[in-house]
Amino acid sequence: MGCARIFAGTDGIGNELLAFRGRSLHSPHAISGPVTRSHSCTGGAPFGPPSIVRGRRIGAMIVSGQVVFSRACLSAPTLWQTDMSSVKAGFLSSFRRTDSPRRETLRRELARELARDGGAPGTPKLVLASASPRRLTLLAQAGIEPDALRPASIDETARLGEMPRSLAARLARSKAETARDQIANDTDIAGAYILAADTVVSVGRRIFGKPEHIEEAVATLERLSGRSHRVLTGVCLITPDDKVRTKIVSTRVRFKHLAKPEIEAYIASREWRGKAGAYAIQGLAGCFVRKITGSYTNVVGLPLTEVVSLLIGEGFPVHFNWLRAADLDAE
């Protein structure tokens, strides 16, 4: 048997070589003894009998029960750059972790059944990846009631140089995927649609998130005072068969000039807490707005027109709930 260890080294051009227990990691055939490297080769003569590695002939010789490769062989880019780089990637991939569950989930089983049967049995369910009262109210306005809430706790910090649109899209998708993983084995809602959204306020490339303290909220309102800003909401819908649909909706909002006493009074109301841009247009801050260009519900936190279009386009029965509401009123 070969030496019970992993051998790692480099060839003459910096390529890494690996072997384990005397077996080349890129060859199915055992090699007797640990792999080493020759440090000399005279006159360019053949360096011993050829060996076969993945169907290629390379110069090698046996010295004291060890396989020794010539420097010329180890320096051949066509062999080692192609083979050993892929071997290393395959070897290290076994230690790599992923965020998504590797094992089979109930959701995946249901998705396969859906594809095989050509339709979903029963009434489709909806999971909202948020606990926002504003988004729940807006969905109820459209006659949509989520079957479950799965708020996703993620890091909402913008990456270095990230644009507002990219941030809104990334956070919405991340929330939806996190909620999907949470319900993957829930017998009641594993096959549900998943809806997520994230709202970002920006002036140019500068992003105004949810302020964490009073000073930050005051600075944000002072920056928005008397000027226009954009409200961007990223919407992400994941279907029962794990198709991902995303949309970005933009609305331009112009504030009047805010006097210092006005800002102080609004801060004292505490309405700004947990709000992107430090204000809630559906509340007291509605009197700050001079003009809106675009969707009002987008500024509140969920663009209803676009959300309903996404749901209907992916087969969710939005209009069925409308007919149901009419029947209840008739009774």
Alpha carbon distance 252, 254 (integer Å): 7
CA count, 13 A, side-chain hemisphere, 318? 19
Alpha carbon distance 58, 291 (integer Å): 75
| Residue 250 bridge partners (DSSP) | 232
SS3 8: strand
The CA-to-CA distance between both ends of the chain, in Å, stands at 83
Alpha carbon distance 330, 317 (integer Å): 21
Contacts of 82 (CB under 8 A, 6+ apart): none
Contacts of 79 (CB under 8 A, 6+ apart): 53, 56, 58, 73
* Catalytic residue ranges: 198
Q: Specify whether the CB–CB gap between 316 and 123 falls below 8 A.
A: no
Contacts of 128 (CB under 8 A, 6+ apart): 135, 136, 139, 146, 148, 149, 150, 195, 196
Alpha carbon distance 1, 63 (integer Å): 16
Place of tokens 């009641």: 188
